[in-house]
Amino acid sequence: MPQDPRPAALVAATAPTTWDVLVIGGGASGLGTAVEAASRGHRTLLLEGRDYAAGTSSRSTKLVHGGVRYLAQGNVSLVREALRERGLLRRNAPHLVRDLGFVVPAYDWWAGPYYGVGLKLYDLLAGRLNLGTSKYLGRDAALERTPTLQTEGLKGGILYFDGQFDDARLAVTLLRTLEDHGGVALNYAPVTGLLKEDGKVVGARFHDAETGGEYEVRARAVVNATGVWVDEIRRMEDPGVKPMLSPSQGAHVVVDRRFLPGDSAIMIPRTDDGRVLFAVPWHDHVVIGTTDTPVPEASPDPRPLEEEIAFILSTAGRYLDPAPTRADVRSVFAGLRPLVKNEKTDGVGSTAALSRDHVIRVSPGGLITLTGGKWTTYRRMGEDTVDRAERLAGLPERLSVTPGLHLHGWSREERPDHWKVYGSDAERVQALPGADRLLHPELPYTEAELRWGIRCEGARTVEDLLARRTRALLLNARASIEAAPRAAALLAEELGKDAAWAGEQVRRYREVAGGYILGELPTVSDPQASVPSAG
């Protein structure tokens, strides 16, 4: 049996040393900051309370984009920065990011000129990193690219280009990149308190969820990059601190590719809730979203509201023929945006108007909090944060190398869709046992991919494997539940666990995955039937 890699990571994380940078949080902002610090030569430790990208960072609309909506709001500086970062990420991770054409359908005579001018400005702001030139499409050309557009009243459309990616796979790639540069990361290690000396934050206490151990780690700079949970960490230093965030929920539905069979996505620029709506081809399915719903408090596993699902389906139904219905939905998911409150209004009102830019705040005790932003600008967020950490902690000030840093697995080689995300590791994955055995007939994934996720990518649970190392949960939640017993069997085999442990894994996964299904849950076979004993 292969050796479990996690005990060695725990030993490295708890070694009697002082880290240069401790990053709390393993989502986009935390991983980006950790890679930035490690690639500059700083000794870096990252602690994640659950799994990498378990929250918002695996629940995005799967776009690497400048934000056409922000352009309409007049936030030109945010759009320019995001477009630059979009271009850099396309260069640094071509195995994860691809160019994608977007059609803005025009049903009014003024829509073509109106949106066309704005998208020309979008092109100009991208400069030499632009992915493609926007242009007007006649009715036939628009339908050639997006054949399922509603034809009644269609005048044409505007074509522009943005990037598309796999968010959780980018998180895993950043984890591997961090390790490539000597950094240490540990998931299922929630921080339970901050260490302070003379009023200064000098480290953190964490609980190891697997062994039950309690540990302290010391660092010259401590970064709080926990997304919608940043206020929890801030209260560990100062229980009376004023909250920074006004969380907003974004929901999505996933349907079969037949609802958008062309080679382009669709962008609806105006919806009833003030957001744009996207229908995006992704892993041979279509992701449709998103919403902007204020929520009173953060939840570790947010669920789409019925009104959000109804809104997405009804809006999509105005533009797609056939219109997707509830019966066509393979999976639903929601993520929470860590939007920073408007200090003038204290966050009262619609979250759609709040800035999507990132914010860095340093407490009187030196805790560096990074929040806001989006996946597209993760690298810039990390760069700005480490710049601040170097000055604050007296670390050597070094130039950032991440603008040109090839991420782990960098490859331009064309591979079948779900193999491409492994980049140059694909051949090593395919050499593992089970590369020729599909996990489920309705899913593209093989048993070898699960073994790779356990051995090399930090997966510890069935949910880690089916939600984030593969994207089975988002592509087809029912099929993923049916695949869970086999996933649990492989996990138990790799980690040396018994049948009862595997059965509990399936029970927990079924509970989580039930929230991704509209309607009743499917039945599954005995989860312990195919689980090997730990001999």
pLDDT band with cut points at 50, 70 and 90 for residue 80: very high
The CA–CA distances, whole Å, from 176 to 37, 209, 407 equal 14, 22, 8
Say if 232 falls within a structural domain. Answer: yes
- Please name which of 117, 91, 105 lies closest in space to residue 147, comparing C-alpha atoms: 105
Residue 527 pLDDT: 42
Sign, CA torsion 485/486/491/496: positive
pLDDT band with cut points at 50, 70 and 90 for residue 520: low
Say if 254 falls within a structural domain. Answer: no
The structural domain count of the chain equals 2
Task: With residue 493 as reference, give the H or E element that holds it.
Answer: helix 477-495
Q: Residue 454: is its pLDDT beyond 50? A: yes
Report whether the peptide linkage leading into residue 338 is cis, meaning its omega lies within 30 degrees of zero: no
Residue 528 pLDDT: 42
- Please name which of 468, 471, 466 lies closest in space to residue 490, comparing C-alpha atoms: 466
Q: What is the DSSP letter of 369?
A: E
What would the DSSP string read from start to end of 275-324? Answer: S-EEEEEETTEEEEE---EE-SS--SS----HHHHHHHHHHHHHHBSSPP
Q: Say whether both 235 and 357 belong to one domain.
A: yes
* Nearby residues of 166 by Cβ (< 8 Å), 6 or more positions away: 62, 96, 282, 283, 421, 471
pLDDT band with cut points at 50, 70 and 90 for residue 113: confident
Cβ atoms 27, 227 nearer than 8 A: yes
Say if 437 falls within a structural domain. Answer: yes
Exposure class string for 114-135: b at 16+ Cβ within 10 A, else e: ebbebbeebbebbeeebbeebe
Q: Residue 28: is its pLDDT beyond 50? A: yes
* Nearby residues of 247 by Cβ (< 8 Å), 6 or more positions away: 228, 294, 295, 297, 298, 336, 337, 338, 339, 351
pLDDT more than 70, % of the chain: 94
- Map tokens 């709040």 to a residue: 354
pLDDT band with cut points at 50, 70 and 90 for residue 531: very low
Say what the alpha-carbon torsion angle 109, 113, 116, 121 is, to the nearest 10 degrees.
-150
Residue 190 pLDDT: 98
Q: Say whether both 371 and 443 belong to one domain.
A: no
Q: Say whether both 478 and 345 belong to one domain.
A: no
Task: With residue 371 as reference, give the H or E element that holds it.
Answer: strand 368-372
Q: Residue 56: is its pLDDT beyond 60? A: yes
Residue 389 pLDDT: 98
Q: What is the tens place of the pLDDT at every residue in 274-312?
A: 778 999 999 999 999 999 999 988 999 999 999 999 999
Say if 322 falls within a structural domain. Answer: no
Residue 69 pLDDT: 77
Q: Say whether both 50 and 176 belong to one domain.
A: yes
Q: What is the extent of the structural domain holding 511?
A: 431-516
Tell me the C-alpha distance between 70 and 280, whole Å. 19
Q: Say whether both 359 and 481 belong to one domain.
A: no
Cβ atoms 424, 411 nearer than 8 A: yes
Residue 152 pLDDT: 96
Percentages (nearest 5) of helix, strand, coil residues in the chain: 40, 20, 40
Tell me the C-alpha distance between 479 and 511, whole Å. 14
* CATH number of the domain enclosing 10: 3.50.50.60
Residue 525 pLDDT: 52
Residue 533 pLDDT: 34
When pLDDT is averaged across residues 54-73 and rounded to a whole number, the result is 90
Q: Say whether both 180 and 238 belong to one domain.
A: yes
When pLDDT is averaged across residues 132-158 and rounded to a whole number, the result is 96
Say if 241 falls within a structural domain. Answer: yes
Cβ atoms 281, 257 nearer than 8 A: yes
Say if 475 falls within a structural domain. Answer: yes
Q: Residue 532: is its pLDDT beyond 70? A: no
Residue 354 pLDDT: 46
Say if 294 falls within a structural domain. Answer: no
> What's at 136, amino acid-wise?
Y
Q: Say whether both 397 and 436 belong to one domain.
A: no
Reported in sequence order, the residue ranges of 174-311 that DSSP labels E, i.e. its strands, are: 184-186, 191-197, 200-207, 214-224, 248-256, 264-268, 277-282, 285-289, 293-294
Residue 210 pLDDT: 96
Tell me the C-alpha distance between 502 and 484, whole Å. 10
Q: What is the tens place of the pLDDT at every residue in 343-397?
A: 654 443 444 444 558 899 999 999 999 999 999 999 999 999 999 999 999 999 9
Task: Say whether 243 sits in a helix, a strand or coil.
Answer: coil
Mean pLDDT of the chain: 92
pLDDT band with cut points at 50, 70 and 90 for residue 522: low
When pLDDT is averaged across residues 197-205 and rounded to a whole number, the result is 98
Q: Say whether both 394 and 454 belong to one domain.
A: no
Q: Say whether both 464 and 393 belong to one domain.
A: no
Report whether the peptide linkage leading into residue 290 is cis, meaning its omega lies within 30 degrees of zero: yes
* Nearby residues of 276 by Cβ (< 8 Å), 6 or more positions away: 68, 69, 267, 268, 269, 270
Say if 472 falls within a structural domain. Answer: yes
Q: Say whether both 454 and 398 belong to one domain.
A: no
Q: Say whether both 369 and 442 belong to one domain.
A: no
Q: Residue 464: is its pLDDT beyond 80? A: yes
Task: With residue 505 as reference, give the H or E element that holds it.
Answer: helix 499-513
Q: Say whether both 234 and 355 belong to one domain.
A: yes
